[in-house]
Structure 1
Amino acid sequence: MQTLDTINQTLQTNDAVMLYFSAPTCNVCHVLKPKLIEALSEEFPIFVIESIDISETPEISSHFSVFTIPTVLIFFQGREFLRKSRHMSVGEVVEDIRRPYTLMVGN
């Protein structure tokens, strides 16, 4: 079971984390999610990806001030680096995180 504590623990113990906020009724969320997961897994292998269903855990979405879906939050070393909501492309997210990721992992 996902809780705010488990999400915070993930953020504290991993250098690169994506939080993906969605809901079962969001068709865009279901199309975008597998594409984002595939792109991040291929391009940035140390990323930890957490999917958060806002209908099951509204306390997590409210803690992170997420009020629209889909929303992607990217964290580097526990700090929020990027926030994208609704209209985004996989390529846009990948390009936005490429440089800081590369600097962080030293490639």
Structure 2
Amino acid sequence: INQTLNSNDAVMLYFSAPTCNVCHALKPKLTEAIMDNFPTFIIESIDISQTPEIASHFSVFAIPTVLVFFEGREFLRKSRHMSVGEVVDTIKRPYSFMVES
């Protein structure tokens, strides 16, 4: 994960678990919206039931949780209640600045 964060300008970490119905409903919609709007984004899915140490490292204690990183720095953290549109709208402007540079 750290290598992905350090070698890509735009990364989204999606934390979920097999028992989370909201996680499974949200993930395909969010993934599609990110790929449609921000083609250079790298999306990593983390199953906290298999790798709880990664969730702990990023201080993720609720699922689903989305972390968005620009140039290795955390820009956005959303947990539980989020909409696809809200996530897309929040990252649209900083992403456009990053792509232009």
> Per the shorter chain, which TM-score range?
over 0.9
Instruction: State the alpha-carbon separation in 1 of the partners of residues 6 and 100 from structure 2.
Output: 20
Gapped runs of 5+ residues in structure 2?
none
Q: CA deviation at 1:50?
A: 0.2
Q: CA deviation at 1:74?
A: 0.1
Deviations 1:22-61 (A, max 9, x none): 0000000000000010000000000000000000000000
Q: CA deviation at 1:78?
A: 0.2
Of 50, 65, 69, 2:44 maps to 50
Report % sequence identity.
Answer: 78
Instruction: State the alpha-carbon separation in 1 of the partners of residues 64 and 100 from structure 2.
Output: 31
Instruction: State the alpha-carbon separation in 2 of the partners of residues 36 and 13 from structure 1.
Output: 22
Q: How many residues align?
A: 101
Of 77, 87, 92, 2:86 maps to 92
Describe the SS at the equivalent of 2:77. Answer: strand
Instruction: State the alpha-carbon separation in 1 of the partners of residues 77 and 96 from structure 2.
Output: 19
Q: Give the alignment's TM-score, normalised by structure 1.
A: 0.93
Q: Give the alignment's TM-score, normalised by structure 2.
A: 0.99
Gapped runs of 5+ residues in structure 1?
1-6
What's the C-alpha RMSD, in Å, of the aligned pairs?
Answer: 0.8
Describe the SS at the equivalent of 1:17. Answer: strand
Matched residue type, 2:18:
P
Partner in structure 2 of residue 11 of structure 1: 5
